[in-house]
Structure 1
Amino acid sequence: MAQAPGPGDGATLAVYRETFRRVLGKDFQRPVLIETNAHEGPVYVAAEHALYFTTVPEPGPKNVAIMRLQLAGDTFPFTASTLETVRQPSNMANGMCLDRKGLIICEQGTRDVPARISRMVLKTRAVETVVDQWQGLRFNSPNDVVMKSDGTMWFTDPNYGEVQGFKPAPEVGAFVYRHDPATGETAVVADSFNKPNGLAFSPDERVLYITDTGANQAPGTYFVNLPHHVRAFDVHKGRHLRNERLFAVVSPGVPDGIKLDARGRVYTSSATGVQVFTPQGDLLGEIVAPGVANFTFGGPKNDVLFILGDTKIWQAKVKTRGV
C-alpha cells in the first residue's frame, strides 16, 4: 500500500518505498508547464531548449500535428514561451526521438499514405523516409522508436491503425524491429507481443525494455486478461534479443511510455501517473499525473520529466538524470 503523502507532497506522488523520496528530492514539485493538446512522442532538444511532441488524434478523419514548445528560463521550473505547429497533417505521427541528423518520427500512416519511419531536419524541417517496409511488406502503425549508440534504430509496430479504423488490415505481425541506416537492413527482433508500444535501453545498452499495451485495443477499451506489462530482453551481440522475461505488470491502465535514468531505474506511464521501478522490478512509487500517455527527460541537465497528459504538460524535477 502506498504511504500517505509526506510534508510538501500534496497529491503529486505516492510512495511505496522510502528510497523513492531520494529519487525525487525533499522539495519535489510537479507544476503544470502549459495547458495544451499534448499526447505522444515528447523529445527535448537541448540545442534549442525546446520540447517537441505530437497531439491527440482528432475525431472523425484522423489528424495529428507535430508541435514545438519553446521553453524560457535556465532553471526549473521553466516557462512556456512560443508554441508552434511544425507539421500538420503529419501522417499520424506518434513516437519520436533524436539521431545525429534530426528528429526521427514514427508515422502510423493512413488508408491512403503508407506508414514509415521518417527523419525531419530541424533547421529546414525537410522530411525524408528512413524505412517504410520489411521484405516488401508495409508496416502497421509504428508507435515508438529509440536510437542505440551504434546508430541503429529500434522501433515497435502494433496494429493500432487497424483497430482504430484509420488503416487497412495488416500485412505483417505486431513486431519489434531493428533498422540499420548504414546498411539498410531491417530485421524483426521480437514477435511475442500483442501491442508492442514503448521501448528503452538500459544505460549500458545490455537490456532492452519493451511495453505491451494489449489491454487497450480500440479507444476506451481495457481487457484485464490482455497484456499491460513491461518485458525485458538481453541484447546479444548488439543486434539480437535473448532471454525474454516479465519485468513488471503496470496497473491501473497500461504502460505506454517508458524511460530509464542513469541508475537503471525504469519509469513507465500508467492511468494515474509515472511509475518508477528499481532495475530489479520493484515498484518504488509514482509521480501522480492522471491520464498521462507519455513523458521524457529533458532540461539543460536532463533532470526534468516533461509529462504529457493530453490536455496539459507537467514538469517535474528529479534527483537523477535520464539516459
Structure 2
Amino acid sequence: MVDRFRTRFEVADERFRRVNGDEWVECLWTGGRWLEGPAWFPAARHLIFSDIPNDRLLRWDETTGAVGVFRQPAGHANGHTVDRRGRLVSCEQGNRRVTRTEPDGSDTVLADRWQGKRFNSPNDVVEHSDGSIWFTDPSYGIDSDYEGHLGDSEIGGNHVYRVTSDGEVRRVADDFGQPNGLAFSPDESQLYVVDTRARHLRRFTVTGDGALRGGDVFATCDAGSFDGVRLDQAGRVWVAAHDGLHCFDPDGTLLGKLLLPEVVANFTFGGPKRNHLYICASSSLYSLRVNVNGVRYPGW
C-alpha cells in the first residue's frame, strides 16, 4: 500500500489559488540516500531517477508501482532528461561527463571535456528543440567521495555549457558559484538557471545563435537553497527548495509553495497530460496530480 499524507499548499498570492491538486501526496518509494534527477518516459510509463551516493539509477513502473534497479554502477549520475527521440540523457558526476543511453542500452558520450579539460561533475541537463544539450557543471561530485570521486577541478570554475548538435562544446555562462538546475521557458526564449551557492535563480535571454544575455536574479530562496527547476505551460516557474516546491509567476512574484516533509532536490512533470508531479526529496519519491500541465517545448 502506498503511503500518503494530506497535501499542504501555502498561498502567498491569490493567483496561486488557481493551482491545486489531489488532496493527498503519495509517497511512492523510500529508502534512498539522496534522490535526484527524475525523468519521465511516457511510452514506457515509467520514471528513471538517481540515488547518487548509492551509485544507482532506479526505475518506478507506473503500471505496477514496483521500483527496481535500472543501472548500477551509474557513474554517480545526478540529473537526467529525455530527448526528443525518447532517449535518456544523463549527467554522470562520478565520470565527469554527459551521456546518452541508446535504444540498445549502450552509452554515447556527448561531452566530457571543454578545451581539453575534464568537467568537474555535470549536474543537470535540458535539451533545446534545435537538438543542443545544455547542462550545468558545479563541483559537488569532486568535493568528496559521497556523490562522486574526490578530485581537483581542471577547468578552475563552475560553469554552464551547451553541446551543439554536431558535438561542439561551448561555455555559455561563467559567473556562477554553483550552477545547478536549469530549464527553458515554454517558447525557449529564456533560460532559468539556479545558483545554489548564491541561493537564487537567474533568468537569461537565449539569443538566436545559442548564446545567453542578461542573467538577472529572478528569485531568491527563503528556505535553504534552490535546486531543480521546471516550468508549467502557463510559464509559472517551479523550483525545488528545502521545504518543498516554490512556485513563481513569470513576473517574479512568489505565488505559493507545495510543502513536503523532506528536502526537495528535483522533480518533473509526467503522466499522459504532464500534470503529475514526480518529486525526489532526500530519501523518498513523492507524487501528486495537479491542475497545471508541465511545459511542452517546441518540437515535442
Letter in 1 for 2:284: K
- Segments of structure 2 that go 5 or more residues without pairing to the other structure are 296-300
What residue is the counterpart of 2:47 in the other structure?
51
CA contact (8 A) 1:157 1:196 kept: yes
| Structure 1 residues 83-107: Cα deviation after superposition (integer angstroms, max 9, x where no partner) | 1211111111000001125100001
Letter in 1 for 2:53: P
Offset of 1:11 from its aligned partner?
A: 5.8
- Hey, which bits of structure 1, 4+ residues long, moved more than 4 A? none
What residue is the counterpart of 2:298 in the other structure?
none
Q: Return the match for 1:94 from 78, 83, 96.
A: 78
CA contact (8 A) 2:41 2:86 kept: no
Q: Distance in 1 between matches of 2:236 and 2:23?
A: 18
Letter in 2 for 1:136: G
What residue is the counterpart of 2:151 in the other structure?
168
Q: Distance in 2 between matches of 1:49 and 1:260?
A: 21
Offset of 1:28 from its aligned partner?
A: 4.2
Secondary structure at the aligned position of 2:65 is classed as strand
What residue is the counterpart of 2:292 in the other structure?
320
Letter in 1 for 2:183: A
Offset of 1:31 from its aligned partner?
A: 2.2
Structure 1's 316 and 33: CA in aligned 2 closer, same or farther, altered over 3 A? Answer: same
The higher radius of gyration belongs to 1
Q: Return the match for 2:218 from 247, 253, 260.
A: 247
CA contact (8 A) 2:6 2:25 kept: no
Identical counterparts, % of pairs: 42
Q: Distance in 2 between matches of 1:28 and 1:277?
A: 22
CA contact (8 A) 1:55 1:310 kept: no
- Segments of structure 1 that go 5 or more residues without pairing to the other structure are 1-8, 59-63, 73-79, 215-226
Q: Return the match for 1:103 from 88, 97, 106.
A: 88
Instruction: Check if 1:184 corresponds to 2:188.
Output: no
Letter in 1 for 2:90: I
Letter in 1 for 2:144: Q
Instruction: Check if 1:116 corresponds to 2:97.
Output: yes
* Superposition pairs of residues 121-132 of structure 1, within 5 angstroms: 121=102, 123-132=103-112
- Using the size of structure 1 for normalisation, the TM-score is 0.84
Q: Which moved more, 1:272-281 or 1:166-175?
A: 166-175
Secondary structure at the aligned position of 1:162 is classed as helix
- Using the size of structure 2 for normalisation, the TM-score is 0.90
Instruction: Check if 1:33 corresponds to 2:28.
Output: yes
Q: Distance in 2 between matches of 1:284 and 1:30?
A: 20
Paired residues in the alignment total 284
Aligned-residue Cα RMSD (Å) equals 1.6
Letter in 2 for 1:303: N
Higher relative strand content: 2
